[in-house]
């Protein structure tokens, strides 16, 4: 199924909202309510769900549990996907603490660092390996995705080891946008770019 990146992002956001509805005991939700929560139109929600083949809109709205399962069937792998963190500093540790346990099919299982105080030890229940053991550990532990949170200055040095290790997806938090060959999906996430974008639209709103 060829689903645009933006639709995948929205599906993940819808699921987060639906899970929270489910926890509150809400069993059905209308497309315009889901749309309102996400600041988009009901047409967009219906278009996204039609694209993935979901069409069971009843008089009561979408069945929350059924829709969670349907979106999970699209987003999730059948088995758990193992994730490694490169650079177990402030951000690496914060991400690991925040994320683990939130999604049953995605699990941070290892960290990698050059600092001898960290490598060879467990940090927040995650074993931290030295970078020299990166490739062999990725293979042994079947790690498919890495989160990159080392200093920006070393980010580009990590591209070749990541390719050689057979990693399939990279979430890059450093300030250096990275490119990988086809077959490796990369998402560059930079807080400065995002804040500048917000600041730009605040400025535009103030000036208009």
Q: Which residues bind ligand NAD (CB under 6 A)?
A: 86-92, 112-115, 118, 131, 149-152, 154, 173-175, 189-191
Known binding-site positions: 87-92
**Least distance to ligand NAD from the beta carbon of 137, Å?**
13
Residues 6+ apart with CB under 8 A from 180: 159, 162, 163, 170, 186
Nearer to ligand NAD, 45 or 146 (CB): 146
**Least distance to ligand NAD from the beta carbon of 92, Å?**
6
Question: How many of the other CB atoms lie within 10 Å of CB of 151?
Answer: 12
**Least distance to ligand NAD from the beta carbon of 58, Å?**
41
Residues 6+ apart with CB under 8 A from 159: 178, 179, 180
Locus of tokens 């105080």: 117
**Least distance to ligand NAD from the beta carbon of 95, Å?**
9
Answer whether 93's CB lies under 8 Å from 121's CB. Answer: no
Nearer to ligand NAD, 70 or 173 (CB): 173
Angstrom distance (rounded) from CA 92 to CA 86: 7
Known binding-site positions for NAD(+): 87-92
- Nearest residue by C-beta to ligand NAD? 89
Nearer to ligand NAD, 14 or 150 (CB): 150
Nearer to ligand NAD, 101 or 116 (CB): 116
CA-based diameter of the chain, in Å? 60
Angstrom distance (rounded) from CA 92 to CA 119: 13
């Amino acid at each position: 199924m060829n689903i645009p990146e933006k639709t995948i992002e929205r599906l993940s956001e819808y699921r987060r909202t639906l899970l929270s509805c489910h926890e509150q005991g809400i069993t059905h939700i209308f497309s315009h309510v889901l749309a309102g929560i996400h600041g988009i139109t009901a047409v967009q929600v219906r278009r996204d769900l039609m694209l993935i083949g979901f069409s069971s809109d009843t008089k009561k709205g979408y069945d929350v549990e059924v829709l969670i399962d349907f979106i999970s069937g699209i987003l999730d792998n059948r088995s758990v996907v193992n994730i490694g963190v490169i650079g177990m500093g402030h951000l690496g540790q914060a991400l690991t603490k925040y994320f683990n346990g939130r999604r049953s099919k995605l699990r941070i299982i290892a960290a990698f660092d050059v600092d001898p105080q960290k490598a060879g030890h467990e940090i927040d229940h995650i074993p931290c390996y030295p970078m020299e053991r990166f490739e062999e550990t990725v293979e042994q532990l079947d790690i498919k995705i890495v989160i990159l949170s080392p200093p920006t200055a070393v980010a580009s040095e990590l591209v070749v080891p990541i390719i050689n290790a057979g990693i399939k997806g990279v979430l890059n938090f450093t300030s250096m946008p990275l490119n990988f060959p086809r077959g490796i999906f990369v998402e560059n996430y930079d807080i400065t770019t995002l804040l500048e974008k917000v600041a730009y639209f605040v400025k535009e709103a103030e000036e208009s």
